[in-house]
Amino acid sequence: MRQAGRYLPEYRAVRAKSDFLTMCRTPELAVEVTLQPLDLVGVDAAIIFSDILVVPEAMGMHLTLDEGIGPQFTSPLRAMADLDRLQPVDPNESLGYMLDAIRLARREINDRVPLIGFAGAPWTLAAYMVEGKGTKQFALAKRMLFEQPTMAHALLDKLATAVGDFLLAQIAAGAQVVQLFESWAGSLGPEEFRAYSLPYLARIAARVRPTGVPLIVFAPGAGWALRDIAEATQAEAVGVDWHSSPRSARALCAGLNVAMQGNLDPCALYASPAEIRRRTHEMIAGFGPIGHVANLGHGILPDVAPAHARAFVDAVKEWRWTEEHLAAAGVSTDATPFSPRPA
From the centroid of its chain, how far is CA 334?
37
Residues 6+ apart with CB under 8 A from 29: 14, 18, 22, 23
Respond yes or no: is residue 157 known to be catalytic: no
From CA 253, how far away is CA 240, in angstroms rounded? Answer: 11
* 300 in Cβ contact with 7 (< 8 Å): yes
15 part of the active site: yes
Residues in the chain: 343
**Strand pairing of 115-120 and 70-73?**
unpaired
CA-CA distance, 281 to 329, in Å (whole number)? 13
Catalytic residue among 15, 203, 250, 277: 15
60: helix, strand or coil:
coil
With contact defined as beta carbons under 8 Å apart, do 185 and 195 qualify? no
- Is residue 203 a contact partner of residue 237, using CB atoms and an 8 Å limit? no
User: Which of these is catalytic: 44, 51, 82, 265?
Assistant: 51
Rounded Cα distance between 308 and 326, Å, is 28
Q: Are strands 215-218 and 177-181 parallel, antiparallel or unpaired?
A: parallel
Active site residue 209: no
Question: Which of the following is catalytic: 7, 11, 106, 128?
Answer: 128
CA distance 2 to 14: 16
117 SS3 class: strand
Alpha-carbon separation of residue 84 from 80, 87, 133 (angstroms): 8, 8, 20
Whether the upstream peptide bond of residue 263 has omega within 30° of 0, thus cis, is: yes
| Other CB atoms within 10 Å distance of the CB of residue 232 | 19
Q: Which of 173, 233, 169 is nearest to 203 (CA)?
A: 233
Active-site amino acid positions: 2, 6, 15, 51, 128
